[in-house]
Structure 1
Amino acid sequence: MELVDLTTTPAEALPLTAFKAHLRLGSGFADDSLQDDLLAGYLRATLAAIEARTGKVLFERVLQWRLSRWAEAGHQPLPVAPVTAITSVALRNAEGGVSEVAVALYGLERDTHRPRLFAKGATLPAITHDGEAVVSMTAGFGPSWDDIPADLQQAVLLLAAHYYEHRSETNGAVRAMPFGVVSLLESYRNIRVLGARS
């Protein structure tokens, strides 16, 4: 299985102003934007770390997921949330031939933690031996910073500040997420319990 970003978060969507305010950086000076690239780098690293820990896509992006078999004949849990649209499903055979699956044959079941692709008939289209399914989807809370829930915004700012403030350390302390960040992320983690659906 492979999940690939087909789009990236544009630089103008990153909360640079909010991050500078959080860091209490001075403003009104000629060199206000001197650290913008550095700060943007910490924000992008933070977004990636939080998305990896929670399985939640923060800024809206288009993703492509490739898999060699369905989890169940009639449905397939998706690897991230929230998913707002399935833009296409295609089947690729071992020889590289690709066939699009008709939109009428599948749908999206939205869920905060575990959205699913489901068959509108009895089963999802069969994936051939040594073939794969390619699912393209739009995922994320929205295209702007204001679309992201407030507690996740706070986690982003806290973790990015942690990276920024420990940027010169070489002892590995920066790798651990601060307790406050972990607490904010806890409710967004996808916890699997015995008997929960796939």
Structure 2
Amino acid sequence: MSLTLLSPPGAEPVSLEAAKAWLRVSHEDDDALITDAIITAREHVEARTGLALITQSWRERLDDWPRRRLSASGLAVSLAKAPLLSVEAVRGRERDGTLSVWDPAEYRVETCEPGRLVAILPFSLPRPVVKAGGIEIEFSAGFGETSDDVPAPLRAAILHLVAARYGADRGEGGETPPAPEIVDRLLAPYTQVRL
């Protein structure tokens, strides 16, 4: 399996101005440092939760439909990033390397949590012809286009991470500290449990 970011978020879930207000920084000397901290914090939150915070486009390549993400009936598969907004295409790789599109009339997209593809009876999830990278799914995920679309606890976690990194980078704590304990509590409701 591989997951490739096709279109990064057009904004950050926390603006530079919001982060500076949180940090009580009024000068512009550290704007680049704070911006880097925001990006790093967002990436940390997204990695911990499996969520896309601001709308972004992805391509997932699979060898086969992942068993741990299949429904009990085998007719539905959840996608790798949430919250799912849309599925642009599902393709299968043929033996000659070309990609064939799975007819959208044969499946529906559920954008609930977790977002998933569901084969419409009498159809089923197509079997890959080629086992290595035989399935490609292009989809969009995220809470929305702006920071206001992102749940407040996730934005708060980012602000706490930015503050920890900013303090360390300014020499107030040596090397970058681990994520503050409050970040764990803020992210807990959004973290996917893996069995």
Give TM-score, length-normalised by structure 2.
0.86
Secondary structure of 1:183's counterpart equals helix
- Distance in structure 2 (CA, Å) of the matches to 1:69 and 1:184: 34
Provide the aligned length of Structure 1 versus Structure 2: 186
Runs (5+) with no aligned partner, structure 2: none
1:41-190 counterparts in 2 under 5 A? 41-71=36-66, 72=70, 73-112=74-113, 114-121=114-121, 122-131=123-132, 132-167=134-169, 168=171, 174=177, 176-190=178-192
Secondary structure of 1:125's counterpart equals coil
Identity %: 31
Instruction: Tell me, yes or no, if the aligned pair for 1:93 and 1:130 is still in contact at 8 Å.
Output: no
Structure 1 position 94, deviation (Å): 4.1
Write the deviation string for residues 82-104 of structure 1: whole angstroms up to 9, x where unpaired.
00111111111343111111111
Q: Which amino acid aligns with 2:58?
A: L
Q: Return closer, same or farther for 1:170/1:25 CA change in 2, 3 Å cut-off.
A: closer
Instruction: Tell me, yes or no, if the aligned pair for 1:11 and 1:40 is still in contact at 8 Å.
Output: no
Write the deviation string for residues 22-60 of structure 1: whole angstroms up to 9, x where unpaired.
01002xxxxx44432222111111111101101111011
Runs of 4+ in 1 over 6 A off after TM superposition: none
Q: Which amino acid aligns with 1:9?
A: P
- Distance in structure 2 (CA, Å) of the matches to 1:95 and 1:179: 52
- Distance in structure 2 (CA, Å) of the matches to 1:82 and 1:140: 5
Give TM-score, length-normalised by structure 1.
0.85
Structure 1 position 173, deviation (Å): 5.1
Q: Which amino acid aligns with 2:15?
A: P
- Distance in structure 1 (CA, Å) of the matches to 2:95 and 2:127: 13
- Distance in structure 2 (CA, Å) of the matches to 1:25 and 1:83: 36
Secondary structure of 1:69's counterpart equals coil
1:4-15 counterparts in 2 under 5 A? 4-10=4-10, 15=15
